[in-house]
Chains A and B, each alone.
Chain A
Amino acid sequence: MSTDWSRREILRRAGAGFGALALSALQADAAPNAGNPLAARRPHFPARAKRVIFLFMPGGPSQVDTFDPKPRLAQDDGQPSPKLYLGQQRKLLASPWKFQKHGQSGVEVSELFPRTATCIDDICVIRSMVTDDPNHPGGCLLMNTGERVFSRPSLGAWVMYGLGTENQNLPGFIAIGPGPIIEGVRQYGSSFLPASFQGTFVSNLAQPLRNLSSLQVSRDRQRRELDALARLNAQHHAQRAADDRLDARMQAFELAFRMQAEAPEAFDLAGESAATSRLYGLDQPKTEMFGRQCLLARRLVERGVRFVQLYHTTGGFQPWDQHSGLKTGHENNALATDQPIAGLLRDLKTTGLLDETLVIWGGEFGRTPTAEGKDGRDHHPFGFSIWLAGGGVRGGMVHGATDEFGWDAVEQPVHVHDLHATILHLLGLDHERLTYQFAGRDFRLTDVYGHVVREILA
């Protein structure tokens, strides 16, 4: 064989290398060793969800003011709580908001979320969430990585490791947080998993990804350059047979070339209609930021991005942390997110994407049914609410319950590990089989815990 291959030969060769690798990867649990680690992989069993959008609400939204109505609180407002918090007895605080039944299912939602409430028949509310850490850093890490202290791969990174991504021209795991987030990269990082599985963090929505354009040369010239590069690499490779990595890296440059064309388009909202902009609240200053995040999420999952994590950061890095000013704080937060979230759900539903897209809403913990100060609530890890929609989850249902005050999860408690197990299950992954060997041990997202919450599966 001539050592100076034509471009076509090179691409065919690189492509074949990949095909073979991808095929072997399909058979295995484990991530590929070489080649393209992001190639789409078949799940353990047929998946209900192909993609995930996690709407993370840092700070800890209050369950008794959002999705877990507690008439008893209104009744006993101002009375000493029968339970202590941090050794202190505090007074019960009624929710300032009314709850109402919505949809055909009649699931109750507080008036904080009038628009999300219209989608309630697609939503499964879990009212019995439990977590292990009452502090923000540990709580956020646990919710996002399954571990509260040590460096561990994030949920999104595990999903990437398990499934790869469907669109090679975009990152497969994108985290969008316009403001800073607590614990930073640890929330979306890959830790000991290969770096290619870590979330691509987008902070500046105007310039979401770096290095997508070459300001110096035309695309034609760059094409010629990459052809030349391929020929140079082929010469190098010809003497070094059977090193998949050399093929893979040639292919990576081809992928990069295509990403340059496709990724900016994915992040460009200019082409969206005025109606869509309104649907996501882009026309209102208060909803514009999170609306943009949600609309981006839809555009990204539409293009095969596997995991999109949105951090709500309008109003601080943990906006839901209302130790005081619950009324204005939660109202502002709900206002900033309600229309965008409802818009996202409706849009996904209309386009049919919701069937295969799992949407998750929630924070790192909930808030106490008792008052902190005169108008705040403290952190509360023992029973709080999150919800899921689409992607194989039963809509219009409530799972689990807290006690009559909204303290403890008393029926069907769902630990964060259980939630993680369920998310992986919906994606067709067995959380006990999705393991990665590191330092002589097999690690998994759920450590040694986790049960799939089968009751909420559609």
Chain B
Amino acid sequence: MSLRRLFCRHRAARRSSCPLADLRWATRFRAVLAGIGLAISCCIARAEDSERFFETKIRPILVETCLPCHSDLKKSGGLRLDSLDALLQGGASGPAIIAGRPDESLLIRAIQRQQDVSAMPPEQARALRPEQVADFVNWIKAGAEWPAVAARLEAANHWAFAPLIDVAAPDVHDGAWLTSDIDHYIRSGQEVRHLNPAPAADRRALLRRVTFDLTGLPPTLAEMQEYLHNETPDAIAQVVDRLLASPAHGERWGRHWLDVVRYADARDLIQLPAESDFREVWRYRDWVVQAFNRDLPYDDFVTRQLAGDLLQPSDPTRIDAESLVATGMLAIADFVPGDVDKKQMIADYVNDEIDLVGRAFLGLTLACARCHDHKFDPISTEDYYAMAGIFFSTRVIPSPSAGNTPLVRAPLLAAAEIQAINQQAQRDKERIAELTQIVQSAADREFRLYLERRLNSSLSHDLPVAVAYLQAMREPIPPTLDDFAAKHQLDAATLERWVQFFHQQPSPAALSTLLTEADRAAGAQRVAEVLKQLTLVAAERRERIARDSVAELLATSELLRFRSDDRLIAIDAAGKVTRWPDRASLAADAAPPADTRGPMLAMADIRGHSRPVLRFDGEAVLQAPRAVPPAGTLFIVFRTDPNAPSGTRIVGWEDSAAGQHGIGLMPDSAGGLHAILRRAGANGDIVAPAPAESGFQLITLTWGAEGAALFRDGVQIGVNKSIDAVTSDPAIAALRIGGPGSGSAQRFRGDLCELRIYGSPLNEAARVRVETEICARWFERTEDRSLAASDAHPEASSVSAEIGFHDLYDELLSPRSPYWIGVEDRTSILAQDVRDRLVAQRDELESLKKKPAAVIPQAVVVQDGGPVGSPFEGFHDAQVFLRGNPSTPGKTVPRGFPQVLAGPDPAPITEGSGRRELARWLTRPNHPLTARVMVNRIWQHHFGEGLVRTSTNFGLRGEPPSHPELLDRLARRFIDSGWSIKSMHRRIVLTRVYQQGSFGSDASRATDPDNRWLARMPRRRLEAEAIRDSLLGVSGLLDTMPGGPGFLEVGVPRRTLYLMSVRTGSKTADFPSLFDGPAGGIVERRNQSIVAPQALYLLNDPLLDDVSASLAARVTREVPSSDNDERINYLYRLALGREPTATEIAIGRQLIVDPDVQHPWTRYCRLILCTNEFIYVD
């Protein structure tokens, strides 16, 4: 291997094709490496002095200052400065350095900027500082040592790369102590150092230790009793089997594994959209837990995580969901999202995965070789890019889309199942839409038909009677209403409503002349004329509906119709609208809610004509009772005040205070528009820009199964296909016009002309007809027509339009009609069969709605092949990125594995990414690292430290194993057992060394303070999860429900494994981080910090309030006698697994009888939970 390759080449300037490259890269000594994760960083060696000197003083300057111009890429002056050979050989001007003779070295004279040589670097601004020059002088004076040489030689014989050895432990004198081969190795190590093992742990301590170790929970009272009374010689082996079979075991050991694979339940819960986050990864967590519980062989465990997507059954109707889920390990790659440079982003996640595979499976810091050959381990950049080819040919993102990039997801059902589910869901969806439409409109339609029938049958009799009565009222002796009604065969209530109908203000224009006719005959004639006209209107409308499907659609689905030029608008003395009549006739009118007021009725210039508008001033609001239709069409003519604040809504079914939304239409002052449509809490928006001209506009919004679309003046301006129905909270029962704003009191400011809502997404013909009609009314009229004359049916020309018979007919179908019946009383007028049908339809709708949504379970996974549309699409060997920079690719390296480990003549990877081959290679029985790394990790979690203490670094800078022969023996046994992790637990736990006490002798502590020789069991602080789980466990609160999405509230009494963890820490409980929980990256080993905020948490946090109250309740409940001593005893057994001493009982008594405190038992229990004994396990 050439020396040149050993050179740390990172950090030189990048020159081309970087998005920022135009900014004069070449002159920038510290180039903005825009992202090149150069900082993968080069490690600071824990090295010898000379090596350290070179690495910290010399190499960085060579790399940063010299290499941009003097490397294999660019040999200015024929000189390269990237290896000792190159320096000694020199360039056009001769050798650059002469070892030991700085004064004669050209390089020194150049950086000293002596006159007779070219000053280096050429720019004065970048000249080396005097102390840097001095460093070079000293380095050359000392012989110009280039330390990588030594590292390379050392590497060849490194223990971790050598095959497993099988050396029997040397003889030990203390044969009596041994129970297993593990003890043999350990005792031998002790004897060499004259150490003696600690006495065996007492049974209580041992049970507590092994229970925490294997399940993360304290032993229960019953478990303790059972064990203490079990006199059989293999009592502890029975316990171990019981613990290994417990579901809690996987929760404990699954967590250990999750630490290694930088698990988090999400990356971010605030800024990233869900599709760019990995929030379904809890399925992977659950899979890991299950894998440990069923003792999935480790080789299988490794393989599925690396290549589960490639292990699918050949039968396309089947799917191996579990193996897909397992690739979640790769899917949760740690990279910065939303980067502008997607190529860089892909290179970053590839790097993360190499880092993960290296540290988790191989115990090697492979990622160090991204920019330069590994400084200490025999891992070259070529080795790195051989691995990188595998991961560049694997996708975590489907393709490099702009902005936040979504992640790859896969359904967890076979295609046929998905199809069946989708078909059923589609059928249900259509049926729901249909039924909703039917149910909502059917009652209205039936009632409307009833009203029309009633008008048809009764009007010709009732109207003349009512007119006669009103005329009779003017006579000197008016008749009573009851008498008159009886005399004319009309029920009194109907007559009374007729009277009200005539007296409403303003009264319908068509009726106004009826009462003023002095001549009875003329009056009767006039009544007859009115009746005739109304009959004509009715007939015309029926006929039009019958021959015109569009008209029928419009007539049957119209829900609301408001116009600001409606003469029936009621206003108060201040000109504020108090009632806005609904001309669709079937719902109540719009009115301001209590404590608010309506808009002003004002005149506005609309395309040259002065027209009445409703003017909203930022406070006014109207509301019309009606729920949001799940599918529908909304038409609105309005303009926004150019000075209006943003975020206000002109119309909407919303309660922003309660965060409930159905639909909102949000105009901005520039004329742009934002439609917000919400379905079951999920938002769908359509955003449309402003038109060229501001002013009044007609906006149409349709929504339904085909998606939602927005039109301005009949032209589509926005669409969102993903919204297939709108739902809102049932509490929102009214449409709000003019409000609410988003979270603030500010409401809409501007003018509103017309608003119509239909309960179905109108087809184009219907939509265009309404739009044409509305445009004609507001935008294209050449002359101003009287308000009374306007109506909704301009084409109905045979009826005397100028008197407003259409309006009158509408009035007679409206809530003001004499024949109106309130919603609650209508059932009586519906035919039984209609009623029955409605009830059945409503029931069907309700049951369909209650049907759980057909969710196809999905997992975040990886797929084979680079991201589609990226330079890495498909399967490719990777090019070496010079200095880690994706913009400076070098030679192509075949996909493969680090040469030092690859074995002779590895088979080339020819098909797919090579992850399957990677897994196969890792799990070869003769792989030197895979088994060693895993058994070491198991050992670490039993003894607090691994035999190799740097459990993610078995390289030359990792720590060597304390017991290399033992490590290899365990690794060999692990493989021979079929990679059984549970067997390894049994093997380790059922030893004398594991079962010794934690007290240890003074001699052992003095001789071996770090406890490398294990002459005592280390005392360990519980991890964050075990602390919280113990608190919940002893207090009886623990809910052992396994699996599922993480929970956010720390007070939920489930195991801490399931408490939501997020890489950015947003929205998460502070408990885990306070007690050294994982921080989102690869965790080699948990810290065991001791700080005051932990004490504050235990002393004061509400979680502990609950726990200690529950524990106190448990103690008092389960010890019915009120004997305090007995209860204290019980508390100790529950919380600490032992009986209290007399002193401890005395202390407890004092606390319990304190008259100062309200719940002394709760306080006392809390104190016991605060003791060192509770969280330190002997």
Contacts and interface: CB of A to CB of B under 8 A. Distances in A.
Q: Do A and B share a complex?
A: yes
Interface of A: 3-4, 34-38, 83-87, 130-135, 137-138, 141, 146-151, 168, 171, 180, 182-186, 189-192, 194-196, 198, 200, 210-218, 220-222, 224-225, 228-229, 231-233, 235-237, 239-243, 245-246, 248-250, 252-253, 255-256, 259-260, 381-382, 407-408, 410-413, 415, 432, 435, 437-444, 447-449, 451
B19 interface: yes
A442 B365 CA distance: 13
B348 A249 contact: no
Contacts of A448: 41-44, 55-56, 59-60
**10 interchain residue pairs of minimum CB distance:** A185-B1065, A440-B953, A184-B1064, A256-B1095, A84-B22, A151-B1081, A255-B1092, A440-B950, A440-B958, A211-B1100
12 contacts: A3-B1143, A37-B1090, A146-B39, A150-B40, A184-B268, A185-B1079, A212-B1100, A236-B1171, A256-B1095, A408-B23, A439-B953, A449-B11
Contacts of B1167: 225, 228-229, 232
B829 interface: no
Contacts of B1080: 151, 186
Interface in B278-299: none
Interface in B1089-1131: 1089-1097, 1099-1101, 1105
B28 A194 contact: no
Nearest to B1062: A184
A439 B950 contact: yes
Contact of A253 (B34, B1076, B1105, B1170): B1170
Contacts of A146: 39
Contacts of B1070: 210
A322 B999 CA distance: 63
A210 B1094 CA distance: 11
B218 to A, nearest CB: 16
Nearest to A37: B1089
Given A151-B334, A185-B1065, A135 B1099 contact: no
A241 B1019 CA distance: 12
Contacts, number: 292
A199 B931 CA distance: 38
Given A211-B1101, A448-B44, A151 B1079 contact: yes
B30 interface: yes
A131 to B, nearest CB: 7
Given A212-B1096, A243-B1019, 5 more contacts: A37-B1091, A149-B37, A191-B1079, A213-B1100, A252-B1094
B1176 A245 contact: yes
Nearest to A86: B19
Interface of B: 11, 19-20, 22-24, 27-30, 32-35, 37-46, 55-56, 59-60, 64, 125, 129, 268, 270-271, 334-340, 348, 359, 365, 950, 952-953, 955, 957-959, 998-999, 1002, 1005, 1019, 1021, 1062-1066, 1070, 1073-1077, 1079-1082, 1084, 1087-1097, 1099-1101, 1105, 1141, 1143-1144, 1147, 1150-1151, 1154, 1156-1159, 1163, 1167-1168, 1170-1173, 1176, 1178
A146 B1173 CA distance: 40
Given A134-B34, A225-B1167, A245 B1088 contact: yes
Contacts of B334: 149-151
Contacts of A184: 268, 270, 1062, 1064-1066
A395 B453 CA distance: 92
Nearest to A233: B1172
Contact of B42 (A171, A235, A447): A447
Contacts of A217: 1156-1157, 1163
Contacts of A216: 1105, 1157-1159, 1163
A239 B125 contact: no
B1105 A250 contact: no
B1073 A171 contact: no
Q: Which of A171, A225, A242, A411 has the most CB of B within 10 A?
A: A225
Contacts of B33: 132
A440 B933 CA distance: 14
B1074 A246 contact: no
Given A256-B1099, A435-B44, A447-B42, A229 B1171 contact: yes
A130 to B, nearest CB: 6
A413 B1125 CA distance: 73
Contact of A237 (B268, B1099, B1100, B1172): B1172
B1002 A241 contact: yes
A217 B336 CA distance: 47
A451 B129 contact: yes
Contacts of B46: 437, 441-442
A392 B340 CA distance: 39
Contact of A236 (B60, B129, B1074, B1172): B1172
Contacts of A435: 44
Nearest to A142: B39
Nearest to A441: B43
B44 A443 contact: yes
Contact of A382 (B23, B953, B998, B1088): B23
A165 to B, nearest CB: 11
A194 B125 contact: no
Contact of A138 (B19, B60, B339): B339
Contacts of A138: 35, 336, 339
A149 B44 contact: no
B1021 to A, nearest CB: 7
B1163 A447 contact: no
Nearest to B125: A411
Contacts of A243: 1019
B1171 A220 contact: no
A248 B1090 contact: yes
Given A439-B365, A448-B42, A413 B32 contact: no
Nearest to B1158: A216
A426 to B, nearest CB: 18
B1171 A36 contact: no
A189 B1157 contact: no
Nearest to B1063: A186
B359 A447 contact: no
A288 B143 CA distance: 62
Contacts of A211: 1093, 1096-1097, 1099-1101
A186 B264 CA distance: 14
Contacts of A437: 46
Contact of A415 (B30, B56, B359, B1092): B30
B32 A134 contact: yes
B23 A250 contact: no
Contacts of B1076: 194-195
B1151 A225 contact: yes
Contacts of A220: 1156
Contacts of B44: 432, 435, 441-444, 447-448
Nearest to A227: B1147
A256 B42 contact: no
B272 to A, nearest CB: 11
A256 B1096 contact: yes
Nearest to B1166: A225
Nearest to B30: A415
Contacts of B45: 442
Contact of A134 (B340, B1064, B1082, B1101): B340
A381 B32 contact: yes
Contacts of A137: 336-339
A432 B56 contact: yes
A186 B1097 CA distance: 22
Contacts of B1101: 210-211
Given A214-B1100, A235-B1144, A382-B23, A245 B1090 contact: yes
A230 to B, nearest CB: 10
Contacts of B270: 180, 184
A241 B1173 CA distance: 14
A408 B35 CA distance: 18
Contact of A249 (B24, B1168, B1172): B1172
